[in-house]
Structure 1
Amino acid sequence: MKKIINDVDNIVPEMISGLVRTNANLVRQIPNTTAVVRNDAKFSEEKQVGIVSGGGSGHEPLHAGFVGDGMLSAAVAGQIFTSPTPDQIYEAIKAVDSGKGVLLIVKNYSGDVMNFDMAKEMAEADDINVKSIIVDDDISVENSEFTQGKRGVAGTVFIEKILGAAAREGKSLDELVELGKAAIANTKTIGISLRAATVPAVGHPGFELKDDEIEFGIGIHNERGYSIEKIAPSKDLAQELSDKILADFSDQDGKFAVLVNGMGSTPLMEQYIFANDVLNHLQEKNIEVDFSKVGNLVTSLDMLGVSLTLMKVDDEWIKWLNEPVETIGW
C-alpha cells in the first residue's frame, strides 16, 4: 500500500485541518470536532434554514467540499467509511441554527441514520427545530452490508445543491423537507468499478477483480454489486447503465439532469469520454438533458470506476442546479 499519510489513526483530523487551513475564507472547524461550518461573511448575516450533512470520510469532496453559500451550512466527517458520532453532529446543528430550523441530509446507511437521529433528538431537547431526509438513490441493490434498503450515493450532491439553493432563496424547513423528498424520489444512480478501494487501515483492495473484469452496482464503501462482466468499450457501459436507470423511472418524459461521478482514481479524460457516450445514448432515445456535470464529487478513496446519476427535473430545479455557489468542491 502506498499512501501519502502520516499516522493511519490520525488521517481524518489531519485532513480536516488541511482543508480548513487552505480554505479559511470558506469554512472553519468547530472546536474539538471534525465538523466544518461556513465561514464566509454572508453566513452570519443570513437568517435561513441551516443544512447539515455528513458521513464517513473517504468520499471527498463530499461533504465538507460542499459547505458554503448556496449549498451546505455545515458538514460532519466520521472516520473512514464510518458515521460521525451524534455529539459531533449535534455541535454542527447548534452552529448553524439561526432560528429558522435545521435540515439534516442523511445518506441511507444504518450508522448514519442512527447517529443523525440521535443528534436530532439532542438538538430538539434544546428547542431547535430539526428535520431530516434520507437519500437512497442507488438502485443497484436493495440491501447491502451497510444498509436496510437502497444506499445513498452520488445523487446526494444534486440533493444538496438543490436544497442549498432553495434555502438561500428563503424556503421554510417544511418546504425544504417536501422538496428534498421529491428530489430524492426522482434521483437514481448506479456505480461501476474496475478496481476496489484500499482502506488505509486494511492495506489492500476491498475485493479483487481480474484485469479484464468490471463490477456493476458497487457501493461507495467497497460493497459488492450485482454482476461481474468483461470490460467493454465506454459506449457499451454507458448504454447498459443508462438503460437500467431509465427503466427504474415510471416514465421517461420530461427533462433530466446527468451526473458522471469519478470514484477516485478514474482520470477526467475517461470520465468525459463516458459522459459523451451517455449523452449520445440519451439523445438517441430522445431524452432531454438540461443539466450535466462531470467530476470527482463523491469518491471512494482510490477506487477505479465511475457512477452515473440521472435526475428527473423541472425548470425550477434546473435553475437551482445552475446557480453559482461558493464552495470548495462544486
Structure 2
Amino acid sequence: MKKLINGVDTVLSESLDGFCAAHADIVTLGEERKFVRRATLTPGKVALVSGGGSGHEPLHAGFVGHGMLDAACPGQVFTSPTPDQMLAAAAAVEQGGGVLFIVKNYEGDVMNFEMAAEMASGEVMTVVTNDDVAVENSDFSTGRRGVAGTLIVEKVVGAAAEAGADLAACKALGDRVNARTRSMGIALTSCTVPAAGKPTFTLAEDEMEMGVGIHGEPGRRRVKLMPAAGIAAELIEAIAGDLGAEARGDAILLVNGFGGTPAMELYVMYENARAELEKRGVRIARSLVGTYVTSLEMAGCSLTVTMLDEEIARHWDAPVHTAALRWKM
C-alpha cells in the first residue's frame, strides 16, 4: 500500500485539519472534528446537513458553503458517521428555518440519520438519494444506492434554501430532483482502504466491473474491458431505460471520476455519453465533468443524468461557492 499518510489512525483527522485550514474563508471545523460547517451562517435559512463515510472526497465536506450545504459529517473511511455527529452538526447550523438531512441510501447512513432526526430538538426532514440504477439491492443498502446524483440534489436544494424556500419546499424539491436523477458507474481498478491495507477486490488486466458501487461493491457483472464508446452506450442504455418516458428534453450530464481517472478520459466519456443521449432525444443543457464523488484512488467513472425543468435549471445555475464547486451567474 502506497499512500501519502502518516498513519492509518490519523489520516482522517489530519485530512480534516488540512481541509479546513486550506479553506478557512469558507468552512470551519466543529468541536472534536464531528462536522465541518460554513464559516458564516444565514439567520432564518433552512440548514442543509449531509455526510457519510470518508474516502469519497470532495463529497460531502467539499460542498459546504454558499449555495449548497451548511454542514457535513465525516465518518471513518467508508463508514457512516454517528448520530451524535449529526446532532452536533444540526445544532450548530440550525438558524430558525429547520434542518434538512440529505442522506445517501446506505443502511448505516439511513439508520444513523434517522436516529439523529428522532433525537433532534427542532424540526428535521430528510431526503434520501437512491440514483444508482446498477443494482436494486447490495450488502450496503436496501433498495438502490445513493451515489453521484447526491451532488445534484445538494446543489439544487442548496440554492433553493439560499433563496428562502422553507423546509417543506426544500424537501419536496430534493425528492423531485432525486426522482429525476439516475446514475451508473464502472471500475477499471479497485481501491485500497487504509485500514485494510490491500485492494477491496481484484480485477484482471482485461476486466472491468460494470455497475460498481462507490465503496467497491459489486455491480451488475464483471466484463472484458471495452472501448469508451461501448461503456458509455451500456451505461446510458441503463440510465435512459430506467428513466423511461421521462428521458426526453433537457438534462444535466455529470461525468464523475472515482479518484484515479485522468481528466482526458473523463472528457472522452462525456463525448460518448452525450452522443448516446442525443440519439435518444435528450439535449445536454448543463454539464459537469470532474472528480467529485470518489472511491479513494479507484480508476473508473460514473455517469449521472438529471432531467431538467425550469425550477431545477434555475437553482442549478444559481451562484455557489464551496471548496469543490463554485460559479457565479
Shift of 1:63: 0.2
Q: 1:148 aligns with which of 142, 159, 163?
A: 142
SS in 2 for 1:259: strand
What residue identity is the alignment partner of 2:291? N
Contact 2:133–2:238, Cα closer than 8 Å, also in 1: no
User: Contact 1:259–1:308 (CA<8 Å) still a contact in 2?
Assistant: yes
Equivalent position of 1:279 in the other structure: 274
Residue 16 of structure 2: aligned partner: 16
Counterpart of 1:182 (choices 150, 153, 176) is: 176
1:111 aligns with 2:136: no
2:48 corresponds to which residue? 51
In 2: Cα distance, 1:178 partner to 1:213 partner: 41
- AA at the equivalent of 2:65: G
Tell whether 2:43 aligns with 1:65. no
CA distance in 1 between partners of 2:138 and 2:173 (Å)? 27
Aligned to 2:254: 259
Shift of residue 285, structure 1, vs aligned partner: 2.7
The letter for the 2-side match of 1:37 is R
Matches within 5 A, 1:232-251: 232-251=226-245
2:31 alignment partner, SS class: coil
* 1:95 alignment counterpart: 92
Q: Which amino acid aligns with 1:17?
A: D
Aligned counterpart for 1:313 among listed residues 301, 308, 321:
308
1:136 aligns with 2:93: no
C-alpha offsets along residues 130-154 of structure 1, whole Å, 9 cap, x if unaligned? Answer: 1111111111011111111110000
Amino acid aligned to 1:11: V
- 2:159 aligns with 165
Matched residue SS, 1:214: strand
Aligned to 1:202: 196
Which SS does the other structure have where 1:195 is aligned? coil
Do 1:51 and 1:164's aligned partners in 2 also have CA atoms closer than 8 Å?
yes
Contact 2:37 2:71 in 1 (8 A): yes
Instruction: Indicate the RMSD between aligned Cα atoms, in angstroms.
Output: 1.0
Q: Distance in 1 between matches of 2:10 and 2:119?
A: 27
> Scaled by the length of structure 1, what TM-score is found?
0.96
Question: Is the 1:12–1:34 Cα contact (8 Å) retained in structure 2?
Answer: no
Q: CA deviation at 1:46?
A: 3.8
Q: Does 277-286 or 225-234 show the bigger shift?
A: 277-286
Question: What SS does the aligned partner of 1:249 have?
Answer: helix
The percent of aligned pairs where both chains have the same amino acid is 47
Q: Deviations over 1:24-78 (max 9, x none)?
A: 00000111133110014xx2x4421000000000000000000000000000000
Cα shift readout 1:300-321 (whole Å, capped 9, x = no counterpart): 0011100001111102211211
- State the AA in 1 paired with 2:146: G
Please give the secondary structure, in 2, of the residue aligned with 1:8.
coil
Compare 232-241 and 51-60 and name the one that shifted more.
232-241
Instruction: Name the amino acid aligned to 2:46.
Output: V
Tell me the amino acid that sits aligned with residue 113 of structure 2: F
Equivalent residue number for residue 225 of structure 1: 219
State the alpha-carbon separation in 2 of the partners of residues 85 and 63 from structure 1.
15
Unpaired stretches in structure 2, ≥5 consecutive residues:
none
Q: Counterpart of 1:241 in structure 2: which amino acid?
A: L
Question: Partner of 2:244: helix, strand, or coil?
Answer: coil
